[in-house]
A and B are shown apart, each in its own frame.
Chain A
């Protein structure tokens, strides 16, 4: 059974600081996703990481993937209040063969509060 663990689950930080959210998963997977969810809203896709060593950046957020360690990180640089949200990582449940889409297994989410 695929398991996805995120930590921390709750994070309160000040604007201007840097921090990293960690996502560990239990079995081999080709695809890892990061989503953002604002209160009462649906999930917004942030990043798709498809291979070992993949790194993607968008604004103050940077995501990386280490498939050997089964670890992905989401790094926040110089945080601003607008980044307050819940961040989820999710792993594709299909095999590494790339043979088609399948459901995602999500972590419990990291609830991030950025204080001015």
Chain B
């Protein structure tokens, strides 16, 4: 079946712009996660949803970052007033509850 998909795959933003990153999880997966991966580093946890409920947002680096999953399926990560330090790959993962997390291809964000 289809895996986790993310769009766009690449995004270039000017500093101060808002961006929205989309994640389509594997159908039927209850849990959805967002991670941020800086160049040469391991992914870092941002936030976690179980169905539509955001159960953990402790990893969001600032109040400029916002995530939602209103219908318990597709999720959007929004970054407001982007800064250069936001440049990274944003990875989405989904899983059964509990189970292996399956990762999407990521969105590469470059803030100029």
| Chain A contact residues, CB within 8 Å of chain B | 4, 31, 33, 35, 41-45, 48, 88, 90, 92-94, 98, 100-109
Which chain A residues border B43 with CB–CB below 8 Å?
43, 88, 104, 106
Q: How many residues of B contact A (CB 8 A)?
A: 26
Count of A-B residue pairs with CB < 8 Å: 62
A45→B102 contact, CB < 8 A:
yes
Cα separation A109 to B39 with both chains bound (whole Å): 12
Which chain A residues border B97 with CB–CB below 8 Å?
100-101
A109→B41 contact, CB < 8 A:
yes
Measured CB to CB, the closest approach of chain B to A66, in angstroms, equals 21
| Chain B contact residues, CB within 8 Å of chain A | 30-31, 33, 35, 41-45, 47-48, 50, 56, 59, 91, 95, 97-106
Which chain A residues border B35 with CB–CB below 8 Å?
103-104
Q: Assuming A43-B91, A104-B101, is B42 touching A88 (CB within 8 A)?
A: yes
Cα separation A44 to B33 with both chains bound (whole Å): 15
Q: Assuming A31-B98, A42-B104, A45-B102, is B50 touching A100 (CB within 8 A)?
A: yes
Measured CB to CB, the closest approach of chain B to A16, in angstroms, equals 28
- B44 (CB) vs chain A CBs: closest residue: A106
Measured CB to CB, the closest approach of chain B to A111, in angstroms, equals 8
Q: Assuming A101-B31, A101-B95, A103-B33, is B103 touching A42 (CB within 8 A)?
A: yes
Q: List 9 A-B contacts (CB under 8 A).
A: A48-B99, A90-B42, A92-B98, A100-B97, A101-B98, A101-B99, A104-B33, A104-B43, A109-B42
